[in-house]
Chains A and B, each alone.
Chain A
Amino acid sequence: MITLEKKIKVLVAKVGLDGHDRGAKVVARFLRDAGFEVIYTGLHRTPEEVAMAAVQEDVDVVGISIHSGAHMTLVPKVMKYIKEFGGDLDEMVIVVGGIIPEEDIEKLKSLGVDEVFIPGTPMEKIIDFIRKKVPEKKKMGRSR
């Protein structure tokens, strides 16, 4: 049943030189099947390109997929550019998926990443998180 309610819009992004797209593509499909509107960036995008797309498409969620160990450099860059291009990180949900060691998960969260999904995370968990977090952040953003 189609309702014209606002669909959650998710940008699935592959940033940097990492060419492993199996996860990103599978996640993109599953998110679509869960009723989200998904934009997949394709491979080898720079942090700026990802941020520009996030702002122009006015997405609710930016999901960065990264398996190359370069997450501590690239994720903060994406967030920096989102801010620079006018995006509101208080409203936009940022999640990261991939090979991320435990200490880095904490570091990323302290930088403002909303959640990190390691390999083996059930798709349901990702979908539920998004469904919950998006309205939560929007409300907080509005009340400011």
Chain B
Amino acid sequence: MNVEEIVRGIEEGNRRALARAITYVENDYPEGKEIMKRIFHRTGKAHVIGVTGFPGVGKSTTVSKLIQKFREKGKKVGVVAVDPSSPFTGGALLGDRLRMDGLDVSKPLWLDPGVFFRSMSSRGRAGGLAAKTGDVVRLLDAFGFDLILVETVGAGQSEVDIVEVADTTIVILMPEMGDEIQINKAGILEIGDIYVVNKADLGGADKTVRWLKTMIMMDQESVEILSKTTHADEAAVQSGEIFERMKKSRDWIPPILVTVAERGVGIEELVKAIEDHFEYLKKSGKLMERRVRRLSRELFDLIMDEIKTILSKNKLVDFRGYVERVAKGEINPHSAAEDIVDKLLKVGCN
């Protein structure tokens, strides 16, 4: 399939074309860039939802249940499931698709025309993962999916990057996760628009909920609010009273939901929270705000990429030569950089 056929295929709802487009984009084929240029105008309508959390908390099951619920409401859903690659072999076992199943065994989600599921490996590119995922999300958006779920494993920096891709980020935890300091360090507690304590049937869920409330209250905004309240004593903090007060003064306090995804418990409420958040984003203008912020970062990254490419290809700027001169001590790195940029701007990037 060539670029023409693929773009047309995407416009016509041909899944094979979509799948091939994703492959090109995922693997940095030149066709990928072409395709992205041509479909961009069709993007911007979908609600992008990021789902993250440590391995074992039940992300795939939750995603599977969300897909079901959204389908029941007649929404079309695209899913990107990102799995880590082995740092040694580069290989990956992409295992999320197989957890996807409908409640109705006779109507498997695998065959539902309103669902598209794509597995992606992280391929050890921590920072760049967001960019690639973002493009894949755009393709799904252009194809016409109402909701796009991006599922990642939240155990490191790359997962926190997913926030860049999503409008709404859901962080899933479970009771008795043990090392709370670790969870804190992972930054996972700063990125959630919605928090879910799954596997609530294991017991200890309310403890986790209380702990979450405390943690959420620790973020910058809340600290400001706390410092303004007069009797912010221990008891009030403990009882969650502060939390309730905060809700009234901040526009969006991340709700903390309790689910047993496997049994579908709490999924209705999760869907509602997702819809509420999207409403909030639109009404408050935050949706635009976030997207602009994201686009500005993306544009910046793309510019940097272009410059990198130019530097390595452009013959008029002798990059190697400069490096040697710096190594010999003839010129310092800062001046060298200024020189090069100067030359580039004069010469023009083409």
Contact = CB atoms under 8 A, between A and B. Distances in A.
Interface of A: 1-7, 28-29, 31-42, 45-46, 48-49, 52-53, 55-58, 85-87
Interface residues of B, number: 34
B349 interface: no
B23 to A, nearest CB: 4
A42 B98 contact: yes
B19 A57 contact: yes
Given A48-B111, A56-B117, A58-B23, A41 B97 contact: yes
B97 A38 contact: no
Could you say which of B14, B22, B93, B118 has the most chain A C-beta atoms within 10 Å of its C-beta? B93
Interface of B: 14-17, 19-20, 22-23, 27-29, 85-87, 89-95, 97-98, 108, 110-111, 116-119, 121, 123-125
B110 A32 contact: no
Contact of B111 (A1, A35, A39, A52): A52
A126 B333 CA distance: 51
A30 B23 CA distance: 23
Given A2-B123, A87-B16, A32 B93 contact: yes
SS class of chain B's interface: helix, strand, loop or mixed? mixed
Nearest to B88: A33
B89 A34 contact: yes
B108 A85 contact: no
B111 A7 contact: no
B15 A39 contact: no
Contacts of A53: 97, 110, 117
Q: Which of A28, A37, A38 has the most chain B CB within a 10 Å cutoff?
A: A37
B15 A85 contact: yes
A84 B23 CA distance: 20
A6 B27 contact: yes
The 6 A-B residue pairs whose C-beta atoms are closest, nearest first, are A86-B16, A42-B98, A32-B91, A58-B19, A2-B124, A49-B110
A52 B113 CA distance: 10
Contacts of B86: 32-33
Contacts of B123: 2, 4, 7
B111 A49 contact: yes
B90 A7 contact: yes
Given A2-B124, A4-B125, A49-B110, A55 B94 contact: no
B215 to A, nearest CB: 34
A87 B87 CA distance: 31
Contacts of A28: 93
Nearest to A82: B16
A33 B91 contact: yes
Given A4-B28, A39-B97, A48-B110, 15 more contacts: A2-B125, A4-B125, A29-B93, A32-B92, A36-B91, A37-B119, A38-B91, A39-B119, A46-B108, A53-B110, A56-B19, A57-B119, A58-B19, A85-B15, A86-B14
